[in-house]
Amino acid sequence: MAIHPTAIVDPRAQLGADVELGPYAVIEGAVKLGARVQVHAHGMVRGDTEIGADSKVYSFACIGGDPQDLKYRGEPTRLVVGERNSFREFTTVNRGTASGGAITRIGNDNLFMANTHVAHDCTVGDHCVFANSVAIAGHVTIQDRVVLGGLAAVHQQGRIGRCAMVGGGGMAAQDVPPFTIAQGDRARLVGLNVVGLRRAGFSREVMSALKNAYRELFQAGMPLRIAAEQVRAFYNDVPEVIELVDFLETSQRGICRSVGAPDAADE
């Protein structure tokens, strides 16, 4: 374990094997750091926060800060972070609130670039990339392998589906379905995330089915409810298409519409 003499470590903290703390790093509260976690110079981890093995907290990042919620009154809440996450400079990740389940959760193998923000009560999956200055509001769900381009933002209670991408500067005020790309203010769908699907190892057959389902759901001009029923019936043997339809049918905020879609798609 390499701890710089200027680092400040709360006696309640639990440090795993070979943890490294740089100059003026601050570990405040009942923090748990897994094996080989690195907190660089001036990095801070605080509160009831657990960070999994091989994660890195870079300079001036604050992980586990109080939620930015007017209802928060200092009650005990948590942040749980998985393994091999990287929080670059000035990133902030807040703990949960009592009204939101009291916990913020982050999975494994995520990259949070400089100046990103994860608000209270959020859930982030695995293998996600948050580009510079991305901000997600409270109670947001980010599923696995999502890419959020620089300066993108997600409205509170929003969901971004698996293998989806929000382009740089995109403002996602509604849910972004899995496997798609959304961009703009307010974000609208522009097609499938073909590059992301290839990188995730999707077969040609599955990608073809998703393309056909996308056209029927978002570009054919049918009411979304009817289109979803037809797509579910026709592609009931393609789990990825069923995942897409399930996401649409469980949306609480509504779904981003496709660029250039006929008006009937909004019914």
Question: What amino acid positions are annotated as catalytic residues?
Answer: 120-121, 138
Tell me the C-alpha to C-alpha distance, in Å, between residue 42 and each of 39, 58, 139, 262: 8, 8, 28, 52
Cβ proximity of 162 and 125 under 8 Å: yes
150 phi/psi in degrees, rounded to 5: -55, 135
Alpha-carbon distance of 226 to 105, in angstroms, equals 35
